């Protein structure tokens, strides 16, 4: 919220409501959604595959699914340690996004 | 006359206007001549009979039919004003497991054969009654008030529609329509209430209609008439009539209820997702 909106919309609690909802739902869609189980399985499988080749922390694999209209986005984010040789040329981080139906 | 369309009216949160909307939309659909059956899934807390003015003519109910104690024809109550409108009442039993999935499935299958539209009024919550109401639906109307907890619960319901329904299980995506009710244009304009735009943006499903907060709704319930029948010219009746036309597939821009200071006829096109 900028100064302008603070001055002109002192009573605009709707903006606060919208922001809070957006943040909350982004989390709930992953954790309580029907996809929670699927996301967990995907995370475990991806972790196992990556671990065959690289040593990574189990926490380094982040999988999330977000709904947006008729599209569901599957986001996979894997953080690789900097000293990991095969990944040394990367900036230590690789991310990929894939869209599904 | 076969293969009716099953519409579930659902919300998660209680008291947002599911029953009011089910009655109004069922009546509006039937006024066009289609054969319509409104089904009350709120077992233990039935109210659709009262809102539709049929409470004194209920003999058998959905649970009786599911248990094979009565036929559907025996349980259906025909509306006194619109002759192609019927009600399948809920039972007042306190038995939570009164409805079975198989039982409801076969009732819906039978209703599809003799009605053009089957409108299922879901109970609040995400328990058995609500999941059974949505289970066999072809399309869903998601009722939300422009208020945080209602929007959050709708989001949860959308997740269930995409997971726990026959359509979802067969890999299809259920078409969903957002109906915003109890909307106060003046308060939204002042930033005291989420705007239509906000709710559409957050839930990202296409907008079916916006029903203003109105005294006519309570008046209609007092006399037991769907608001689309009791005061046809009123703002909520018009909003429901328009929503019903959109449900039929008409491409009609959503007119926002104007605030009291005017701005009449301001048009808003729902952002389809
Ligand atoms: N547009 C409106 N303007 C004013 N009052 C309304 C409006 N829509 C619904 N109401 C009122 O809100 C109350 C709840 O409505 P309704 O029974 O339709 O909600 P519901 O979602 O079916 O509730 P439940 O979850 O308990 O089944 C009723 O008193 C009704 O008259
Ligand atoms: Mg109700």
Residue of A7, A16, A18 to mutate, testing the B interface (most B Cβ within 10 Å of its Cβ): A18
Domains observed in chain B? 5-268 (3.40.50.300)
Q: Output the average pLDDT for chain B.
A: 91
- Is B19 known as a binding-site position? yes
Radius of gyration of chain A (CA): 19
Give the per-residue pLDDT at B268.
47
Give the per-residue pLDDT at B259.
53
d(CA A79, CA A61) in angstroms, rounded, equals 7
Residue A48 and residue A66 in contact, taking contact as beta carbons nearer than 8 Å = no
Cβ contacts of A21 on chain B, cutoff 8 Å: 148, 151-152, 202
Query: Which pair of structure tokens corresponds to residue B15?
Result: 């008291």
Give the pairing of strands A61-68 and A71-79: antiparallel
Edge-to-edge strand list for the sheet holding A61-68? A61-68, A71-79, A93-100
The model's pLDDT over B25-47, given as tens digits with 9 standing for 90+, comes to 999 999 999 999 999 999 999 99
The upper half-sphere exposure of residue A19, i.e. CA atoms within 13 Å in the direction of its Cβ, equals 6
Surrounding residues of ion ligand 2, Cβ less than 5 A: B 18-19
Residue B215 and residue B229 in contact, taking contact as beta carbons nearer than 8 Å = no
Among candidates B31, B28, B37, which has minimal Cα distance to B5?
B37
Q: Rounded to 10 degrees, what is the CA torsion of B41, B44, B48, B50?
A: 170
Residue of B134, B148, B149 to mutate, testing the A interface (most A Cβ within 10 Å of its Cβ): B148
Q: What are the backbone dihedrals phi and psi of residue B37, each rounded to the nearest 5 degrees, phi first?
A: -120, 120
- Burial classification of residue B230, based on how many CB atoms lie within 10 Å of its CB (0-12 exposed, 13-18 middle, 19 or more buried): buried
Closest-CA distance of chain B to residue A50, Å: 29
For residues B90-119, give the mean pLDDT. 93
- Closest residue in B to A25 (Cα–Cα): B152
Higher pLDDT, A8 or B74: B74
Give the per-residue pLDDT at B63.
94
Residue A100 and residue A74 in contact, taking contact as beta carbons nearer than 8 Å = yes
Q: Which residues pair with A40 in a beta bridge?
A: none
Give the per-residue pLDDT at A31.
66
Give the per-residue pLDDT at B218.
96
Query: In angstroms, how far apart are the furthest CA atoms of chain B?
Result: 56
- Give pTM, 2 decimals: 0.82
Residue B98 banded pLDDT, cuts 50, 70, 90: confident
Q: What is the DSSP letter of B91?
A: P
Q: Is B33 helix (H, G, I), strand (E, B) or coil?
A: coil
Q: Do B164 and A15 touch (CB under 8 A)?
A: no
Residue A65 banded pLDDT, cuts 50, 70, 90: confident
A41 touches chain B (CB under 8 A): no
Which residues make Cβ contacts (< 8 Å) with residue A37, sequence separation at least 6? none
d(CA B128, CA B68) in angstroms, rounded, equals 20
Q: Which of A5-9, A69-73, B121-125, B169-173 has the lowest mean pLDDT?
A: A5-9
The model's pLDDT over B159-201, given as tens digits with 9 standing for 90+, comes to 999 989 999 989 898 999 999 999 999 999 999 999 999 999 9
The model's pLDDT over B250-271, given as tens digits with 9 standing for 90+, comes to 999 998 776 544 444 444 444 3
Ligand 1 site residues (CB inside 6 A) read B 11, 14-20, 42, 123-124, 181-182, 211, 213-214, 217-218, 221, 236
Residue B16 banded pLDDT, cuts 50, 70, 90: very high
Q: Which residues pair with A75 in a beta bridge?
A: A64, A97
Q: Do B158 and A67 touch (CB under 8 A)?
A: yes
């Amino acid at each position: 919220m900028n100064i302008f909106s603070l001055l002109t919309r002192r009573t605009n609690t709707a903006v606060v409501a919208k922001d809070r909802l957006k943040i909350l739902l982004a989390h709930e869609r992953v954790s309580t959604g029907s996809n929670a189980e699927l996301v967990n399985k995907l995370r475990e499988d991806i972790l196992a595959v990556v671990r065959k080749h690289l040593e990574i922390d189990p926490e380094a694999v982040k999988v999330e699914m977000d709904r947006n209209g008729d599209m569901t986005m599957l986001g996979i984010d894997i953080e690789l340690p900097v000293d990991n040789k095969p990944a040394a040329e990367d900036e230590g981080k690789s991310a990929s996004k894939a869209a599904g139906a | 006359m076969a293969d009716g369309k099953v519409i579930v009216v659902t919300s998660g949160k209680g008291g947002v206007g599911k029953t009011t909307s089910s009655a109004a939309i069922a009546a509006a659909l039937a006024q066009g001549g289609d054969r319509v059956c409104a089904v009350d899934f709120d077992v233990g807390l039935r109210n659709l009979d009262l809102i539709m003015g049929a409470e004194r003519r209920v003999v058998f109910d959905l649970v009786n039919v599911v248990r094979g104690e009565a036929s559907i024809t025996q349980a259906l109550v025909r509306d006194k004003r619109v002759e192609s409108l019927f009600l399948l009442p809920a039972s007042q039993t306190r038995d939570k497991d009164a409805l079975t999935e198989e039982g409801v499935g076969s009732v819906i299958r039978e209703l599809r054969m003799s009605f053009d539209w089957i409108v299922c009024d879901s109970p609040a919550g995400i328990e058995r009654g609500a999941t059974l109401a949505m289970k066999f639906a072809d399309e869903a109307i998601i009722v939300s008030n422009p208020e945080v907890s209602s929007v959050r619960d709708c989001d949860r319901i959308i997740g269930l529609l995409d997971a726990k329904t026959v359509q979802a299980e067969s890999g299809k995506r259920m078409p969903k329509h957002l109906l915003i009710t109890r909307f106060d244009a003046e308060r939204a304009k002042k930033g005291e209430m989420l705007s239509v735009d906000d709710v559409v943006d957050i839930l990202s499903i296409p907008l079916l209609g916006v029903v203003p907060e109105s005294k006519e709704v309570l008046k209609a319930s007092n006399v037991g008439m769907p608001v689309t029948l009791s005061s046809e010219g009123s703002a909520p009746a018009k909003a429901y009539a328009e929503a019903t036309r959109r449900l039929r597939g008409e491409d009609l821009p959503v007119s926002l209820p104007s605030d009291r200071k005017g701005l009449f006829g301001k048009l808003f096109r729902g952002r389809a997702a």
